[in-house]
Each structure stands twice: as C-alpha cells, then as structure tokens.
Amino acid sequence: MLSVNVEQHVNVKFCLKLGKSATETYDLLKKVYGDECLSRTQVFERLKRFKEGREEIEDYQRHDRPSTSKTGANIEKVGEFVRQRRGLSIRAVAEFINIDKETVRQILHNNFNMKKVCSKMVPRLLTPEQKEIRMNICADILQNIENDPNFLENVITCGESWFFQYDPDSKRNFMLREEPHSPRQKKKTRQSKSKFKAMTIFFSDIQGIGHVDWVPEGQTVNQVYYKEVLANLCEWMKRRRRRRRIRRRRRRRRRKRRRRGGEGGDDGGDDLKCGRTAREFFTKTTRRHTTPCLSRLFDKAQDHRAGTSIVLT
C-alpha cells in the first residue's frame, strides 16, 4: 500500500499529463487530502522535476547519513557523555558524537529534560558552624514572632549601596517667565553623570528607611568605621524613641481631656463642655503665673449653667 506522500506524487504526475498548472494541481490536492496535503513548495518542486524528465515517484535513497540522527543509540550516547562532562556546550557534544547541534539540543531538552543552570556567586562560603548559627537565629526570630506579633517593629536591617555624586538638572529647573519682547533664553548643557561614586549605609525598619550615613571620600569601611556608624545609629534610635514617648503622652492626654469633657457635659454639672476642663486649665496656668483676671474668669465659668460652652485659647 502506497503512503500518503507517494500517492500525492502519483497524482502530481497525473495532473501534469492532463495539462494542469502547478497552482491548479495544488488546489486539487488540498481539496482531496486536506491537512495531509504537501506544501505548496513541495508540489511546485515535484512538478518541476517531472517536467524535466524524472520518472521515479519515490525519493532517491540517501547513502551519506541516516534520515535522522535521533536514534536510541545516539540518545544513550549523549546522555552518558553529558553526565560525565556536565560543563560542555552543545557544540562540543555534537562534535564529539558526530551529530548536528539541533539534535543534541532536542535530546537534552526533550528526552532528558536538562537545562543550563549557572552557579550562584556569593561573597564567601559558610562553614557548617556558621550555617548552624544562622539556622538557630532564624528559628529564634520565628519563635519571637509567634510570641509577639509586634516583634518586627523592633527589627532594624542594614544595607549598602553606591550612588553617583551629582544632582541631575531638568528643563523645569531653569524655567523663567518671559514676555513677548523678552530675549531668547540661553541654552543649557545637560549635566552628565559624575565619575565619583559615593557609598551610603542605610538602616531601615518596618516603617521605612530611618538613618542614613554617607561614607566620606577615601574612607575605608572597616570595623572601626562601622563602630562609629553603629554609635550614630544608637543615638538616632534614642532620639526617635524619645519622640515616640512624647507623642504617646500627648495622645493619652488628649484622650483624657476628651473623656473628661464628655462626662462633664452629660451629667449637667457645673463643669465646662470644652476640650480641656476649666479646672484643669486654670490649675496648670495659675501654677506658672497667677493673675486676678484669670481668677475672675474661673469664677464666672463656674457660675455658668449646664449646656453653655466656653472656648479657651
């Protein structure tokens, strides 16, 4: 039984004897065979060969090399060779086994599911003791996070980065308002990157970057310099905690004043309905400087009936 391709070759030769053109022959084959039809190039090439006097319908036998290099023996040979020398390129493997590069690539990718993985470059390799220490530290951090959900608020990370030391200018930096008769503005050259790079050491927490330390030019970053950086970081943390304590105290005072102001207005007493109660305001004020006018104002405030409000500024 003839194969589909050989059968189409016979039909091409038959159409040639009927006087059909190459386009008409391709249309007839496409209508009969559908997706299995030969390509347009193959039909035209086959018709040309028949016109030149070729009588054989089947392709000529090739003796220089097999029709495909992807055989079972070559697949085993490539797999064994690559497992012994994993750093070789596809070109080197193809030259050693004497097959084409595309076949080697298909064997490695499809048959063995291999892919190229580059080595990961690290500053240095850790010893087993250092790895164990890091693992213990990570386990402690995870345990602290489980015990205290706000633990990450106390974690500060450090990073280093290089920056070009220049201030880039834009057109808006030199923008001027001109009148119709004003002279034309002079052109400005765009500033290029500086050759000098500055190193910065920054510390960040859960709220973002906090402390930044710029390394002076020519400074060697060693343990002595890092000691100074950490000392500056400690001072910055103290100031920051001090500011946080002050903010908390202010927030607590505001809440207390609001509560006292709300209680005084609800029970209908003589207390004033304001953000700060009159007694608290005058008590703190008269400690610093007692004046007759403040005393008289306090007496008037106490005589007001419930529901009135006095705004003290």
Q: What pLDDT score does 223 carry?
A: 87
| Per-residue tokens: 285 | 């004020």
Confidence tier at 300 by pLDDT (50, 70, 90): very low
In terms of Cα–Cα distance, which of 132, 74, 150 is closest to 105? 74
Q: What pLDDT score does 177 carry?
A: 64
Between the alpha carbon of residue 243 and those of residues 181, 239, 248, 298, the distances in Å are: 55, 6, 9, 34
Mean pLDDT on 114-118 = 82
- Strands, DSSP E only, in 117-169? 157-164
Reply yes or no on whether the pLDDT at 12 is more than 80: yes
Reply yes or no on whether the pLDDT at 295 is more than 80: no
Burial class (CB in 10 A: 0-12, 13-18, 19+), 81: middle
3-state DSSP assignment of residue 207: coil
pLDDT in tens, 157-207: 888 888 776 655 666 666 666 667 667 766 666 655 566 778 888 888 877
Reply yes or no on whether the pLDDT at 34 is more than 70: yes
Give the Cα separation of 122 and 279 in Å (integer). 68
Least confident of 128-132, 258-262, 305-309: 305-309
- Percent of the chain surpassing pLDDT 90: 4
Mean pLDDT on 109-136 = 86
Q: What pLDDT score does 139 carry?
A: 92
Reply yes or no on whether the pLDDT at 108 is more than 70: yes
Give the residue with greater pLDDT, 148 vs 278. 148
Least confident of 101-115, 179-193, 288-302: 288-302
Residues 97 and 77: beta-carbon distance below 8 Å? yes
Between the alpha carbon of residue 187 and those of residues 106, 174, 216, the distances in Å are: 59, 10, 34
Q: What pLDDT score does 313 carry?
A: 34
Kindly report the average pLDDT of the chain as a whole number. Answer: 76
Q: What pLDDT score does 294 carry?
A: 42
pLDDT in tens, 58-82: 766 655 555 567 788 888 888 888 8
Reply yes or no on whether the pLDDT at 284 is more than 60: no
Reply yes or no on whether the pLDDT at 132 is more than 90: yes
Residues 161 and 202: beta-carbon distance below 8 Å? yes
Q: What pLDDT score does 35 carry?
A: 84
Packed helices 40-51 and 4-17: angle between N→C axes, nearest 10 degrees: 50
Which residues are CB-neighbours of 297 under 8 A, at least 6 positions away?
282
Reply yes or no on whether the pLDDT at 211 is more than 90: no
Q: Residue 109 gets which letter from DSSP?
A: I
